[in-house]
Chains A and B, each alone.
Chain A
């Protein structure tokens, strides 16, 4: 067999995902205004401990080397440590995202004693005001306290994970300094209009000039900063950013949600992108290898409206989720297309129907979004 370039191979799909995100619960003590999974309340159908362990065993058999655990707030689960230990015993590495609330001094010690574990503390502003406007009052202090506990427990280099918004792009250098001061690694990712993020995207997503600012900053600092390869739409500015330049949905990436449904990526919790469920005959492997959705995502994609643009090889048409939840056609430009093609489509009212996420576990309390509603 002749071997063509890696990107083409990856687009054709892998036998098992490389980057699997597993949201363990929709329950969360916070109510972040950009939450990609609209989390808040626990879903009564949530996988129980035995079911979670069973899926972990399946992932071990598929040689999924590591998983990204999120939520909701995963540490809210009473069996959280039991799940971590089961993963560790089965040689599945875990990186989990947390808002830090449940990282006490004692838990930090326990986490530090585990071998094959990464922790990502979410923060969305380098100061209290910027952070708490997105994540809720008190959340900045909570994150800092968690980071202090991890440092004091000698956990090692944890990660600080930041979703880029128009209010924190100017804080990139300060975030890097904050991470450095803890011996931590900075991770920045792209805001998607997913979950509650769909409601706040217009006010939060970086402006066109800030897109350039993020790109320039990543070109200068990208080797030491993690991005989840989420900014590949910016590659149309010029030199490619480090990482895989492609949409991995259903190809190298997928999401298992708290009730065991499998989606193409963490940012498309919508029936249109649901591939199946771990409860099906054949389990996760069957869904990954045989679902009609995943098989279709592994077909060569149509460049659609982007065919005439010379940048397609650089930006790959951007992010499927960003297009879907802003109502743009999937074979057209990204809403944050760097030459403005998406922005003008949005302005020209070609958008008629904006899909809503299929699941909403937001708590039934009113959430104030800076000046909106």
Chain B
């Protein structure tokens, strides 16, 4: 996992999110990857993750049940790999 609950994350500055009925499309203007985000709550977390110190803080703020936190960690890790998000330095 490239992202943990303690990671401070943000959307990659070259990424735009477009709302869609199923969630959102994420598009990276640099590598031109198009990613389908199929869970509206993941989209909400992504839009807000830069405003919190850690991913865990973001999940708390969005009332995500603790038993689902692991799935958010793996989802954001895979988005980090495709450069949709990045870990803040």
Using a CB–CB distance below 8 Å, which chain A residues touch chain B?
1, 3, 6, 9, 12-16, 18, 63, 65-66, 91, 93, 116
Contact = CB atoms under 8 A, between A and B. Distances in A.
14 contacts: A1-B40, A3-B22, A6-B22, A9-B20, A12-B21, A14-B21, A14-B25, A15-B18, A15-B19, A18-B25, A65-B18, A65-B27, A65-B34, A93-B29
Given A1-B40, A65-B16, A9 B21 contact: yes
B68 interface: no
Contacts of A1: 40
A6 B29 contact: no
Contacts, number: 39
A3 B32 contact: no
Q: At the interface, is chain A mostly helix, strand, loop or mixed?
A: loop
Contact of B16 (A13, A18, A63, A116): A63
Contacts of A16: 18
A6 B20 contact: no
Contacts of B22: 3, 6, 9
Q: At the interface, is chain B mostly helix, strand, loop or mixed?
A: strand
Contacts of A65: 16, 18, 25, 27, 29, 34
Contacts of B23: 3
B88 interface: no
A282 B19 CA distance: 20
B38 interface: yes
A184 to B, nearest CB: 16
- 8 cross-chain pairs, A with B, having the tightest CB-CB distances, nearest first: A9-B22, A63-B18, A65-B27, A3-B38, A14-B20, A15-B20, A6-B36, A3-B22
Contact of B38 (A6, A12, A63, A116): A6
A93 B33 CA distance: 12
B38 A9 contact: yes
A65 B23 CA distance: 17
Given A3-B38, A6-B38, A18-B25, A93 B18 contact: no
Interface in B19-70: 19-23, 25, 27, 29, 32, 34, 36, 38-40
A3 B18 contact: no
Given A3-B39, A65-B29, A116-B29, A18 B19 contact: no
A91 B29 contact: yes
Contacts of B20: 9, 14-15
Nearest to A13: B21
Given A12-B21, A14-B20, A65-B16, 15 more contacts: A3-B22, A3-B23, A3-B40, A6-B22, A9-B21, A9-B38, A13-B21, A15-B18, A15-B19, A15-B21, A65-B27, A65-B29, A65-B34, A91-B29, A93-B29
B40 A18 contact: no
A66 B32 contact: yes
Contacts of B25: 14, 18, 65
A300 to B, nearest CB: 15
A1 to B, nearest CB: 7
A249 B81 CA distance: 31
A18 B25 CA distance: 9
Contacts of B39: 3
B21 A18 contact: no
A16 B34 CA distance: 14
Contact of B34 (A3, A15, A18, A91): A18
